[in-house]
């Protein structure tokens, strides 16, 4: 806990929706997919995967939106994209890195869907994938992140 400076808190742009993280993150990621480009209105999304049992909404009531309107959570007031529990992976929540109050320490450990990204959009992620790794690949990456991932 000490090394990660937990707990973390965070919020949307307007401050109506607030979240708290109480367990160490599993991974930090940049995703260059076309969907993330559109929802973030940027070259790629940045996220911090945290254990679902170490994540809570502490103020406000996020609404669903994005693809299929069934998985991405947004502040209903300012519409900031805040977090996404990936389908089929109910043990984790991908928190959008800029939502964290203290977020400038985040360095992507993995980048995904570089094949859909802008040619000029480069990150320092040491692990880069044209699409996404398979399940075993993810497990190896989270293990490596636990050892080498950049801390706050
Ligand atoms: Zn808001
Ligand atoms: Zn994406």
Percent of the chain beyond pLDDT 90? 91
Distance between Cα 90 and ligand 1 center (Å): 25
Distance between Cα 107 and ligand 1 center (Å): 24
- Could you state, in order of their start, the residue ranges of all structural domains in the chain? 2-135
User: How does pLDDT run across 124-152, given as a tens digit for each residue?
Assistant: 999 999 999 998 999 999 999 999 999 99
**Interacting residues of 104 by C-beta distance below 8 A, sequence separation 6+:** none
Distance between Cα 21 and ligand 2 center (Å): 22
Q: Which ligand has the minimum distance to the alpha carbon of residue 113?
A: 2
Distance between Cα 38 and ligand 1 center (Å): 19
Q: Could you tell me which residue, 31 or 135, shows the higher pLDDT? A: 31
Q: Looking at the whole model, is its pTM more than 0.75?
A: yes
Distance between Cα 35 and ligand 2 center (Å): 6
CATH of domain 2-135: 3.90.1590.10
Average pLDDT over residues 73-101: 96
The 8-class DSSP code of residue 135 comes to H
**Interacting residues of 134 by C-beta distance below 8 A, sequence separation 6+:** none
Distance between Cα 147 and ligand 2 center (Å): 25
Distance between Cα 13 and ligand 1 center (Å): 5
Residue 18's pLDDT band, with cuts at 50, 70 and 90, is very high
Residue 68's pLDDT band, with cuts at 50, 70 and 90, is confident
Residue 87's pLDDT band, with cuts at 50, 70 and 90, is confident
pLDDT over 80 at 2, yes or no: no
Average pLDDT over residues 74-101: 96
Query: For position 70, what pLDDT does the model report?
Result: 82
In the β-sheet with 110-112, what is the strand arrangement from edge to edge? 63-65, 72-74, 81-84, 92-96, 45-51, 27-31, 110-112, 127-128
Query: For position 84, what pLDDT does the model report?
Result: 97
Query: For position 1, what pLDDT does the model report?
Result: 54
């Amino acid at each position: 806990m000490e090394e990660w400076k937990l707990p973390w808190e965070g919020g949307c742009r307007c401050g109506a929706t607030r979240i708290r993280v109480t367990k160490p993150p599993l991974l930090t990621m940049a995703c260059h997919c076309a969907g993330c480009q559109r929802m973030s209105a940027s070259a790629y999304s940045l996220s911090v995967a945290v254990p679902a049992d170490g994540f809570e909404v502490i103020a406000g009531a996020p609404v669903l939106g994005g693809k299929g309107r069934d998985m991405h959570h947004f502040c209903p007031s300012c519409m900031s994209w805040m977090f996404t529990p990936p389908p089929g992976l109910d043990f984790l929540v991908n928190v959008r890195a800029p939502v964290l109050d203290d977020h400038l320490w985040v360095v992507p450990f993995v980048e995904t869907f570089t094949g859909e990204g802008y040619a000029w959009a480069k990150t320092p992620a040491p692990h880069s994938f044209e699409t996404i790794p398979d399940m075993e690949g993810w497990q190896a990456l989270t293990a490596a992140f636990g050892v080498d991932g950049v801390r706050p």
